[in-house]
Amino acid sequence: MTGLPTRLLMGSGPSTVPDRVLTAMAQPTLGHLDPAFLALAEDANALLRSAFRTANPTTFSVSGTGSAGMETMIANFLEPGDRLVVGVCGLFGERIVDAAQRLGVCVSRVDAPWGEPVDYARLEPLVGAGTRALAVVHGETSTGVAQPLEGLAELAHDHDALFMVDCVTSLGGHPLEIDDAGVDVAFSATQKCLNCPPGLAPMTLSDRALERLAARRTRVASWCFDLPAILEYWDSRTRVYHHTPPINSIYALHEALMLVLETGLETRWREHAAASAALLVGLEPLGARGLVRAEHRLWPLTTVVPPPEVDEAAIRHELLERHGMEIAGGLGALAGRAWRIGTMGVNASLKSVTAVVEAIATALGESSSAVADACESALETWSATIRAADPHPAGQGAP
């Protein structure tokens, strides 16, 4: 096949896929019960445990994109009539509410203004006797907010509720420690900070989550995402066929996780912090500003409010057509009012950050010296953040 352009993918996902991952994906397809495939898949699950920072034996990938992970979480760990509390601070929190309501779950929600995380003090009174689960989005890609997880697991567990987290945009790019944070059910996706093509939803389940699954009063309403059946395939003692997993996508995930762990998870987090900081410092002299306060900024995805007179869609169009570079526009309340710039995985690099700063400055009609100054400021901030002892802003990331 020919004729497709090469793009630098710096939107909200998918992100740029490295050649090593594409090459891994192009290896010969094996059968889903072939011992050679199963060994590789087990290896991928072990690498996922490292990336999630968990010892959960049940760590695997759901077949389908991040949304399949969300559907699996809701359909298996809640039953019709169960009470779920959701912290909503953007579109992806809304989706958890929507998916749960469709399955007959009674949802109580706490909303934060777009651009801010959900306040612990507002969630606390809603979680009580009868609450079956508490769910939040760790990396809210629609706004660029990182939701602090501190205290939420204790709050849920004190009331015998599960703590469920959407880690789609944080896994591999933002400090996340599943076991330390007490998360029972987490799902992610391959096409954000892991730099794989879309198609798998990495998932990890605590013992508490598995006990809940075993104690269900009703059958799981979804055939496709029926975890008790799916886990019989992933369990090495049973290996019962449920559906054919996307074999070549698992090759890609394995290679992508090797890349993450070769660099080191903490180095990757630091690179994402540096990229987000450098991007903002480069764009601020052009009249753009960050939407989210520094301590709540999601490093892999930075929301930028362009200067008021600028047609944000025209600039995005120019970036794509003239520079082969994709950035995302605002969603929902931010439509037409923001750019969402992803510096995910390999694009959490000085090279990608200066490329996007340069392209935006040029598209805004800046002089060549102003373009050079913007790139120079980005470089200085990048270097300072990479060297800093601890890039964590206060109160952010894992407890």
Ligand X SMILES: *Cc1c(COP(=O)(O)O)cnc(C)c1O
Nearer to ligand X, 66 or 117 (CB): 66
Does 329 sit near ligand X (CB under 6 A)? no
Residue 315 in contact with ligand X, rule: CB under 6 A: no
Binding residue for ligand X, selected from 54, 141, 195, 204, defined by CB under 6 A:
141
CB of 342 to ligand X, least distance (A): 10
Determine if 197 is a binding residue for ligand X (CB under 6 A).
no
**Tokens, residue 379:** 């470089």
Q: Which of 59, 65, 131, 276 binds ligand X (CB under 6 A)?
A: 65
Task: Name the minimum Å distance from CB 252 to ligand X.
Answer: 14
Residues 68-107 that bind ligand X (CB under 6 A): 92
Q: In 10 A of CB 310, how many CB atoms?
A: 18
Task: Find the shortest distance in angstroms from Cβ 340 to ligand X.
Answer: 10
Q: Which of positions 334-353 make contact with ligand X (CB under 6 A)?
A: none
Q: How far is the CB of 168 from ligand X (least distance, A)?
A: 4
**Is residue 366 a contact residue for ligand X (CB under 6 A)?**
no
Q: Is 300 a binder of ligand X (CB under 6 A)?
A: no
Q: Select 187 or 251, whichever has its Cβ closest to ligand X.
A: 187
Selected range binding ligand X among 50-58, 65-73, 103-111, 378-386, rule: CB under 6 A: 65-73
Tell whether residue 139 is a contact of ligand X (CB under 6 A): yes
User: Minimum Å distance from CB 370 to ligand X?
Assistant: 33
Q: How far is the CB of 66 from ligand X (least distance, A)?
A: 2
The tokens describing 136, both together, are 């939040």
| Residue 169 within binding range of ligand X, rule CB under 6 A | yes
- What's the CA gap between 377 and 354, in Å, rounded? 10
Among 71, 79, 82, 166, binds ligand X (CB under 6 A): 166
Half-sphere exposure of 281 (CA within 13 A, CB side): 22
Site for ligand X in 31-50 (CB under 6 A): none
Q: 330-337 — which CB contacts under 8 Å span 24+ positions?
A: 330/303, 331/90, 331/91, 331/142, 332/90, 332/91, 332/94, 332/114, 332/142, 333/114, 334/114, 334/142, 334/143, 334/291, 334/303, 336/312, 337/305, 337/312
Residue type (1 letter), 102: R
- Which 8-state DSSP code applies to residue 297? B
How far is 169 from 190, CA to CA, in rounded Å? Answer: 9
The structure tokens listed for 388 are: 């800093």
Rg, C-alpha atoms of the chain: 21
Q: Looking at 11, 13, 117, 330, which residue binds ligand X (CB under 6 A)?
A: 13
Could you check whether the bond before residue 14 is cis, i.e. omega within 30 degrees of 0? yes
8 A C-beta contact, residue 186 and residue 52: yes
SS3 content of the chain, % helix, strand, coil (to 5): 45, 15, 40
Minimum distance, C-beta of residue 193 to ligand X, in the bound complex (Å): 10
Q: Which residue is nearest to ligand X (CB)?
A: 66
Strand, helix or coil for residue 85: strand
- 108 in contact with ligand X (CB under 6 A): no
Q: How far is the CB of 34 from ligand X (least distance, A)?
A: 27
Q: Which residues make up the interface to ligand X (CB under 6 A)? A: 13, 65-67, 92, 137, 139, 141, 166, 168-169, 189, 198
